[in-house]
A = this chain, B = another copy of it.
């Protein structure tokens, strides 16, 4: 498996994964019948975000994006989103993407990474983030309408990064 920056030819593969994950409605706060145009805007529309893919035998099996969570006085904290092909779950692809994303965020001088909306019944993801050092800052109750479990909570998760924000700024980051 290769992890590398997004290229335009990857979009079709990303969209196949994106569409199926949105349609399942179990892990993301996207419209279940989201348009490709809107999906592209979400995944590729922020020009300062890093977008990477996991590829296997020329096929996109996972993708992630990372950028500032907020602007201005909140711009030193990164956020990230991850999608792995449902057919390729449990193979370490999410972990490999997350490790790369954490490395990119550190290189860019972000002082921390935050996830704003981790569905509490997405146990595999929650466990992975905790293994990678994220903690649950809090859980917004009943904030996610799960198609099988009803209204479940959304975790806000956070991990500090080993960066010197001021030092990074001096280097132009």
A111 vs B141: C-alpha distance when bound (angstroms):
11
A77 touches B140 (CB 8 A): yes
- A74 nearest in chain B by CB position: B29
Shortest C-beta distance, A83 to chain B (Å), equals 15
Indicate if A19 sits at the interface (CB-CB under 8 A): no
Q: Which residues of A contact B (CB under 8 A)?
A: 22, 25, 28-32, 34, 69-77, 111-112, 114, 116-117, 136-147, 151, 154, 156, 158, 160
A32 touches B72 (CB 8 A): yes
B137 touches A156 (CB 8 A): yes
Which are the 4 A-B pairs with shortest beta-carbon distances?
A: A138-B138, A29-B74, A29-B70, A137-B138
B112 touches A31 (CB 8 A): no
- Copies per assembly: 2
- A119 nearest in chain B by CB position: B73
Residues of B within 8 A of A111 (CB): 142, 151
A158 touches B141 (CB 8 A): yes
- A68 nearest in chain B by CB position: B29
- A73 nearest in chain B by CB position: B145
Residues of B within 8 A of A69 (CB): 143
Shortest C-beta distance, A10 to chain B (Å), equals 24
**Contacts beyond the supplied A111-B151, A137-B140, A141-B158: 11 A-B pairs with Cβ under 8 Å:** A34-B71, A34-B72, A73-B146, A74-B144, A74-B154, A77-B140, A112-B141, A137-B141, A137-B156, A138-B139, A141-B160
